[in-house]
Amino acid sequence: MFNFWNNRYIFLSILVFFSSLVKGQTANESYNRGLQLMASENYEMAIEEFSAAIELVPFFYEAYYERGRSFQLLDQHNKAISDFSSAIEHNDEFTHAYFNRALSYTASGHQNLALKDYNQTIYLEPDFLDAYMKRSEIFIRESKVEEAINDLSKVLELGHENANVYLNRGKLYLQQEEKELALEDFSKAIGLDSLHTELRLERAILLSDNEEFALASQDLDVAIECGVSNQHVYYLRANALFYAGEYLSAVEDYTTLINTFRQRNEEIYNQRALSYFYAGEFEAATRDFTRVIGLNRNNEDAYIYRAKAYHELGQDSQALADYRIILLTNPDNTLAYKERGLMFFNNGNYNEALEDFNKAIQICPTADLYFLRATLFTHLNDKINACNDLKQAADLGHEEAQKQHSDFCY
């Protein structure tokens, strides 16, 4: 017997099934068109296609996700967050939805919500490299140094050998006063990108701190060759060259600071004057020390070094004039008595030298001064006082005095 109602039910079920199938196919077609439009950077039309797919299949979480990404690429982050949240509602293990929602939270200034999403991303996918990178940026902004270091270390552990990762971790190590670890990271980074100017500058500063001035100047050479041409980098290189003993090269950089960057101040002229002095360019040194004194008449060291330069030029009367000026201003300047005493000693004026060494020792008894006076007593054939001074110098740690006392006084 024909059962009308049963056949009708079967018919309706088939109709619903085929209707759903058609909707699903149509939704997938819209979704795929949306992906194609995204690939061509036509994000507005892509949004329309993803919206059509969602209207047909409201639980289509991939369509929510891709529409969210389209909004994100248009900098419409609130709409993006809403779509990523919808994708997560329909699939709470959708890792990339958490990650991209975190990106939009960050762009919207919601750091705490972004951090929660990065945490969830990493929980769901422990090797999600970009999540560690982005989370480290939040930790850096929040001054959570240890946490940021851990994340950057994980990035490197996952195989992302990148100069900027090493640079950022090195800077974090510096905040922890871990200078050796920072230097190691900067060196590894330079191995990956030898022309990275910021890395060269950072490493040069550390090398200078370690008194590796020649290596520091080489890093600064690279930075300047790569186009870093500012006052700071020339100042760093000038000082590195000076302390590396490359005095004439240092003169060139100090001159650049003076002429190009208009740094006509006491410090720069003084450093150039010292560079000239140690390079044996005493005439040029006196000119620069005169400039220093013109800028600061209380700079006693400038007077002393100008006096020493005058002595090297055979102009002892001018040297004595400078020593007199210092000692009138500061009768307790030990260095002035020592240097004038040395000048007298070198000229064979032993009595004047002894008077100056005595005054210097009276003000500040040092191993070096006792040793100098012992040398003077030796020239005066005064063995008793020479040995007494050698013992004083030896007791204060002067190695040569210890040796001479053993050889000469027994």
Residue 261 C-beta-side C-alpha neighbours within 13 Å: 16
| DSSP symbols for 27-39 | HHHHHHHHHHHHH
Residues shown for the chain? 410
Residue 393 forms part of a structural domain: yes
3-state SS string for 221-237? HHHHHCCCCCHHHHHHH
DSSP alpha helix (H) spans, 108-178: 111-124, 129-141, 145-157, 163-175
What is the pLDDT at residue 22?
42
Q: Please state the rounded mean pLDDT for residues 143-165.
A: 97
CATH number of the domain enclosing 2: 1.25.40.10
The DSSP element (H or E) to which 16 belongs, if any, is: helix 4-39
Rounded CA gap, 8 and 14, in Å? 10
pLDDT bucket at 4, cuts 50 / 70 / 90: very low
Q: Is the per-residue pLDDT at 23 higher than 60?
A: no
In this prediction, residue 274 has a pLDDT band, given cuts at 50, 70 and 90, of: very high
Residue range(s) defining the domain that contains residue 379: 331-410
Q: How does the average pLDDT of the chain come out, rounded?
A: 93
Query: Which of 76, 103, 125 is the endpoint of a domain?
Result: 125
Q: Model confidence at 410, in pLDDT bands (50, 70, 90)?
A: confident
Residue 58 lies in a domain: yes
Q: Which whole number is the average pLDDT over 128-137?
A: 98
Measure the CA–CA gap between 85 and 249, rounded to whole angstroms: 62
Residue 283 lies in a domain: no
How far apart (Å, rounded) are the C-alpha atoms in residues 409 and 376? Answer: 15
Measured in whole angstroms, the distance separating CA 83 from the mean position of its chain's CA atoms is: 41
Instruction: Kindly tell me the number of DSSP H helices and DSSP E strands found in the chain.
Output: 23, 0
Q: 11 pLDDT band (50/70/90 cuts)?
A: very low
Asked which of 95, 125, 155 is the last residue of a domain, the reply is 125
State which amino acid sits at residue 408.
F
- pLDDT, average across residues 205-215: 97
Q: Is residue 105 part of a domain?
A: yes
The pLDDT of residue 188 is above 90: yes
Question: Is 404 inside any structural domain?
Answer: yes
Cβ atoms of 217 and 240 within 8 Å: the answer is yes
Share of the chain above pLDDT 90, in %: 91
Last residue of a domain, one of 97, 125, 153: 125
pLDDT band at 408 (very low <50, low <70, confident <90, very high): confident
Please indicate, yes or no, if residue 366 is contained in any of the structural domains. Answer: yes
Q: Are 185 and 170 in contact (CB under 8 A)?
A: yes
| Segment 254-271 mean pLDDT | 98
The pLDDT assigned to 25 comes to 62
pLDDT for position 21: 39
SS3 143: coil
For residue 24, pLDDT beyond 80: no
| Residue 391 covered by a domain | yes
| pLDDT single digits (tens) 277-310 | 999 999 999 999 999 999 999 999 999 999 999 9
Domain count, the chain: 2
261 DSSP assignment: S
Query: Is 4 part of a structural domain of the chain?
Result: yes
Are the CB atoms for 186 and 174 separated by under 8 Å? no
